[in-house]
Structure 1
């Protein structure tokens, strides 16, 4: 019995040693990970300072233009809008330091080369069905230039539609843009109408539109649009 008692006393000591080694290893890993993360954020901050306006501490339109040049993309490239979405940028043409850090940390991009390589993956992420509706709605909000603004002028809407939806729903966008440019009933488009067109593209067969039912609470602009197309096709 004494041997058993003696043996049982040794086990906790061994267990404590193992626990001590495990804890020490975990602490070292956490410390290394923390240092790596800190260095990454320092590089992201340094990158921000290269494009930021020194007086406002914001990346302004001029800084974004320089950024686009270094990324070798046009400022009208949809991936720049996707980058703004990833940052959750609130004001069109401007990135705050917090927005910049949020976006680049999520993309694991602390250099221009890494950011350039991250853009194709970002585009794949945005184009997933689970994300695209959110991005589409964000694109509209991002183009509201004033605090209480609720709608966007037709010319801007046509450009935005081409950038955001043109590659996916080319025919629908071309027809809708043509209609918006010749009609006289609407000078602006609101969020409800904007999201209605997204629903139209995803739910209505085109170009026959046999499944379009004006009784299903579509925005009036789309009722008029469908009627215009049908007259055009007659």
Structure 2
């Protein structure tokens, strides 16, 4: 394609305001800035209601109070989903920055609005792509020590029941039974954890006719398959 000829310089003076607007985008109006500031203020006020005054974060006690206000038990999966939405890094704690991220994403700034938003949040998390991310997050969120890469069997059983129990009840019940009686595995890593979700999604149950021992499954899944096949014989 031939180059376009250079245009003659225009003698018309440019409007400085229009240059600034095109370069940086529309300038927010004073009213929109005021509204945004007000929303942050309300969000922070709500945070302060549950935060520990000395540490400046919502700690386990504050989360208990939050759950009471939301009228849900602290073991409700939607609280874990809320932590996922906040991108919370430390189990049982919400920082102000995390709180702002979560409430802004949910478009809420009062406890009443947050309570009403929980069903929609659950619906969002249940979407396949989101749930895959949430499932991995649930494992990561439970790693409470620096450089920790494994979770004990008891924690895994509780987590499986909470995260997958409502969708894959039969598989989860058998998995938990197996994990509690087996003696070969004391802890579970992320790869094995992801494998449980893959197993529930991909393997026909309870016949397991499409499970192939030659494929690259973590060894714990091969062992679970053999245990269950013997149990069903």
* Same fold, judged at TM 0.5 (above): yes
Q: What's 2:147 paired with?
A: 148
Q: Deviations over 1:177-199 (max 9, x none)?
A: 00000000011111000000111
Residue 57 of structure 1 aligns to a residue whose secondary structure is: coil
1:161 correspondence with 2:160 = yes
Unaligned runs of 5+ residues in structure 2 are: 1-14, 19-25
Displacement of 1:210: 0.5
Distance in 1 of aligned mates of 2:42 and 2:29: 20
Distance in 1 of aligned mates of 2:142 and 2:29: 42
Residue 151 of structure 2 aligns to a residue whose secondary structure is: strand
Unaligned runs of 5+ residues in structure 1 are: 1-15, 20-25
Q: What's 1:121 paired with?
A: 120
Distance in 2 of aligned mates of 1:119 and 1:214: 41
Question: TM-score, length-normalised on structure 2?
Answer: 0.88
Matched pairs, number = 212
1:191 correspondence with 2:190 = yes
Q: Deviations over 1:107-155 (max 9, x none)?
A: 0110000000000000000000120000000000000010111100000
Tell me which stretches of 4 or more aligned residues in structure 1 moved more than 2 Å. none
Larger radius of gyration: 1
Question: TM-score, length-normalised on structure 1?
Answer: 0.88
Distance in 2 of aligned mates of 1:90 and 1:214: 36
Q: What's 2:34 paired with?
A: 35
Residue 209 of structure 1 aligns to a residue whose secondary structure is: coil
